[in-house]
Structure 1
Amino acid sequence: MRRSPLATLLLAALVLPACLPRTTIRPPPPPSLTSVANALFESVENEGTMASVFLVDAATGTPLYARHEHVRLLPASTMKVVSTSAALAAFGPDFRFHTPVRLEGSQLGNLFLGDLVVEASGDPSLGSWRFPETAMACEQVAEALQARGIRQWLGAVRVSNADEGPYGLFGPGWAWDDAAYAYSAAPTPFVFRENVVDLSLERPEGQDCNAQPRRPIVVRYSPSFNELPTVVYLEPNAQKAGLGCVRERGSGRMRCVWRSTAEQCPQKASMRVAIDEPRALFTSCVEDSLAARGIWRVPVPPHLAAVPEVATSEPLLDFTSPSLAELVKVTNKESLNLYAERLGLRFTRERTGTESYPALREAMAQELARRGIPTRLLRPVDGSGLSRYNVATARGLAEVIYTSLKEPYASALLESLPVAGVDGTLASSAVSNGTRGLIRAKTGTLSGQKAYVGIAERPNDPEHPRVVFALMLGNIDDQPALTASQVFEQFAEAMVSLPLR
């Protein structure tokens, strides 16, 4: 019996699958740190962002993951890890700044004729509100004078060893329009109250934000200070309410823009602004404390060049800073530029005998060379990372942490790093409960740049239980699919929980 062609085709279709070899559909491989990281960084690089990453075993230094690890980018505030670790290496965690204060003159009964002389030590914490022992500096001076029976004082406050030198007040590569802000306070050899004052603005009572003010905006500076000339511009119907101030170059005048929105009309606003005269701020603070105790300072009359010749020079007291470990902790957790600059410059003086930014470059290069880190991987020009002239690679930053783990101060440096999801600049990091507390990292931020360097604990990996990492992102888009913080959080999760490969 002959089959029709159609029947033949149907029979072949039924028989053929039984003759073909069976194929096994394999499930995709489980995710690993390498696969997740590669996909993550490829996605941001497709948007034009440059990702530079380096990961090593914390005990052996064995590289575990690398991507563009030799690319040079701006380290921003991760440079603070370099300056703080250098200071810890030079002085040890127990080091303290000492700022001597002495009286130069003569005491006649309850009258002192002479000067109060403070010897600048570079202590960034003198007069700071951050520590109980530093916040009471002016009160300590007043108490010491009162204990000597002094009720009147004809003389002045002088600060010795406070010359800024030929390089001025600011670091190379700092943005001039940052100068008014507290985060850009000048790292002068004599620092008081972190070289900032509180500026507050207040509208006239009942004043509508959209109306021309009937009376001037009230401007106050606190603590009491020779107020800076301040001009306030009102900007109603702005997209976002807030206050921003810029110190005009040349005039020294403070120019502030106070913005309000259709929904928000704040009657008061305040911010901390940087000042260039910490000596004047210290003098004002001391005078207020003296007056509170009934002790009055009489300024030297203009027709006198100075008070009578010095009869004696006697120590009055010695301001002592918190330990270097405590200073480093606030520096890195809160990313304090002034502290990082002063620690970097104090380290520079220890190594070269002078304080200047050219000398800082030399001293830091020598310290990095001691650790085996060449300048092509890391080139600091300041201590805080504010400078746009700093250059770093992910490999260079990671090696700073790795080499620090071998030093006696290792625990002090690690304890200073912000903890993801817990404190410091990583307190708001949206990591999972399983990752929270297992990542310590210094962060760095400049326009279009973000960097992280630190350690990650891997509790499920007995072979590599702790790793050192550096992640640098450059040329970040204003509206990326993933923010820099989200990139870090996803990478952090992978470092803690996933197998390496």
Structure 2
Amino acid sequence: MKKYSVLTILLILLAHLSFGQVTTRDRIVELDGFLGRGSFFENHLTGFSLYDLDEQQTVYEKNSHLYFIPASTTKLFTFYAAIMSLGDSTTVLRYVPNGKEITFWGTGDPSWKYHALPQPRLKQFFAAYDKINFSENNWNDQAFGFGWQWDDYYFSYSAEKSPFPIYGNLAKVINVNNRPQISPSLFRNSLNTSERTVRNVQREFHTNEFFYNPRTYNGMNTYVPFLTSQQTFVQLASAELEKIVIPSNRKLPKDHQVLKGIRTESLYREMLLESDNFIAEHLLLMVSDALYQELNTEKTIDYIKKTYLFDLPDEPLWVDGSGLSRHNLMTPRSMVTLVEKIYRVMPDDKLFDYLPKGGVSGTLKNNYHAPKPYVFGKTGTITGNHCLVGFIRTKSNKLYAFSFMNNNYPYKASQVRREMEKVLVYVRDNF
């Protein structure tokens, strides 16, 4: 066997180490070529952070300390708040029985008659009572989030918040013989024709009056948010339960009972895969209910920031559950810290089942195609802003957390996504 001197062995080891360091440095330089001066991402505000979950260190960052509008990646904050505060199943309502009479309070649970979710057995539950009272005394919030655009009020992605949602706070419109038919039946007599140039059914801003133009009607099935109120809820609930529900202002007593509902995982999956704003907002209200038996988004966000998120690199400016508000501001490095927190408390298989997979599911189904999915993350898009936050698995089977945030660009989001894909493919193939 050939023998080597100690000096020769040391030289060989140093050569290998030196080669490894140069290779790593070269990768970083090449990655910077995709993101730095002269690249597509030089022409608008871009932030990127890549974090090695095994080594627990940042591999690359660009503008990771700057604040960006996160859009729907805000839902990751809501998700973390929920998994740290809620159990395996929802609390549908809180109630006080008194013989054949019952008074109940909402918890923000969005499931009742919402088309995207399993159903709680509320009709069976209320069957035992002759007199049903509904109180909103625990509601201390607003129908719209802080900073939502007012003229989104008739789009389904901007349904109102309420203490006890029903039908997702949406009226359903279907095409019957080229005429719109609206449900629930409470709104059927509120649908009128109009000369306004609208393509489908819309709602008046201040009332539950709906309208369409027969000449421009496109015939597509749709959902339109209705104006929520205690009175509207008791009317809709009465029709569903086939019993009169009476408005009440009774305060929620400490001595009350709770009715459990559907599994929370169904909410998480729908919120993250489909980027469902309605579920996101109500999950945050459910966290508020669990903490305070009060429905207050602002108070809940403040609590979550001070308890579970106090150690983020940069304090998030977080104002709603869904990311509809442009007042939300987060830094890429704080987003990476957040997803690492989620990663540490949740099994991989469950987490990656909830998140959209590139080329496979949810909001990533049409992007980041590959024979084997390598991107798992939450997207966020509003006009001029597109972000992606999550995880990337490389060909060497390493897992990285990343945050890729783009704000204030003057072109289509599809163009930004194409350039982002080039960056993430490089990371996949070289790290």
Which of the five TM-score ranges fits, normalised by the shorter chain? 0.7 to 0.9
Query: What SS does structure 2 have at the residue aligned with 1:225?
Result: helix
CA distance 1:232–1:58, change in 2 (3 Å): farther
Is the aligned partner of 1:471 residue 2:404? yes
Aligned to 1:364: 304
Contact residue 54 and residue 394 of structure 1 kept, 8 A? yes
* Distance in structure 2 (CA, Å) of the matches to 1:456 and 1:488: 13
**Percent of residue pairs bearing the same amino acid type:** 20
Is the aligned partner of 1:96 residue 2:90? yes
The one-letter code of the counterpart of 1:188 is S
Contact residue 106 and residue 164 of structure 2 kept, 8 A? yes
Is the aligned partner of 1:287 residue 2:225? no
CA distance 1:351–1:321, change in 2 (3 Å): closer
Query: What SS does structure 2 have at the residue aligned with 1:199?
Result: strand
Deviation at 1:440, TM superposition (A): 0.7
Deviation digits for residues 121-177 of structure 1 (CA, Å, limit 9, x no counterpart): 22121222334444x644x35xx63xx6x9xx7x6x532245533x42111001111
CA distance 1:257–1:491, change in 2 (3 Å): farther
Aligned to 1:85: 80
Q: Tell me which protein shows more helix as a share of its residues.
A: 2
* Distance in structure 2 (CA, Å) of the matches to 1:354 and 1:407: 27
Aligned to 2:143: 169
Contact residue 202 and residue 269 of structure 1 kept, 8 A? no
Is the aligned partner of 1:484 residue 2:413? no
CA distance 1:328–1:367, change in 2 (3 Å): farther
* Distance in structure 2 (CA, Å) of the matches to 1:257 and 1:89: 48
Deviation at 1:486, TM superposition (A): 1.1
The one-letter code of the counterpart of 2:56 is G
Contact residue 94 and residue 104 of structure 2 kept, 8 A? yes
CA distance 1:182–1:451, change in 2 (3 Å): same
The one-letter code of the counterpart of 1:129 is H
Aligned length: 398
TM-score by length of 2: 0.79
* Distance in structure 2 (CA, Å) of the matches to 1:259 and 1:494: 51
Contact residue 50 and residue 474 of structure 1 kept, 8 A? yes
Contact residue 100 and residue 118 of structure 1 kept, 8 A? yes
Contact residue 280 and residue 322 of structure 2 kept, 8 A? yes
Contact residue 335 and residue 425 of structure 1 kept, 8 A? yes
* Distance in structure 2 (CA, Å) of the matches to 1:450 and 1:367: 29
1:130 to 103, 116, 126: 116
2:170 to 191, 196, 200: 196
**Match runs of 1:407-446 below 5 Å:** 407-408=345-346, 412-433=350-371, 436-446=372-382
Is the aligned partner of 1:178 residue 2:152? yes
CA distance 1:137–1:273, change in 2 (3 Å): farther
The one-letter code of the counterpart of 1:74 is I
* Distance in structure 1 (CA, Å) of the matches to 2:330 and 2:215: 37
* Distance in structure 1 (CA, Å) of the matches to 2:350 and 2:365: 19
Aligned to 2:220: 269
The one-letter code of the counterpart of 2:165 is V
**Match runs of 1:238-253 below 5 Å:** 242-243=199-200, 245=202, 247-248=204-205, 250-251=206-207, 253=209
CA distance 1:496–1:189, change in 2 (3 Å): same
Deviation at 1:60, TM superposition (A): 3.2
Q: Which runs of 5+ in 1 are unaligned?
A: 1-28, 107-114, 205-217, 237-241, 291-296, 307-314
Deviation at 1:349, TM superposition (A): 4.5
Aligned to 1:447: 383
**Match runs of 1:41-52 below 5 Å:** 42-46=38-42, 48-52=43-47
Deviation at 1:33, TM superposition (A): 6.5
* Distance in structure 2 (CA, Å) of the matches to 1:58 and 1:96: 32
Deviation at 1:477, TM superposition (A): 1.4
Deviation at 1:338, TM superposition (A): 1.7
Deviation digits for residues 13-34 of structure 1 (CA, Å, limit 9, x no counterpart): xxxxxxxxxxxxxxxx998465
Contact residue 111 and residue 119 of structure 2 kept, 8 A? no
Aligned to 2:135: 160
Q: Which runs of 5+ in 2 are unaligned?
A: 1-22, 249-255
Aligned to 1:14: none
* Distance in structure 1 (CA, Å) of the matches to 2:39 and 2:138: 51
Deviation at 1:339, TM superposition (A): 1.5
Deviation digits for residues 161-196 of structure 1 (CA, Å, limit 9, x no counterpart): 45533x421110011111222211122111122111
TM-score by length of 1: 0.69
- The structure having more radius of gyration, on CA atoms, is 1
Contact residue 361 and residue 381 of structure 1 kept, 8 A? yes
Deviation at 1:102, TM superposition (A): 7.1
CA distance 1:233–1:351, change in 2 (3 Å): same
Is the aligned partner of 1:221 residue 2:173? no
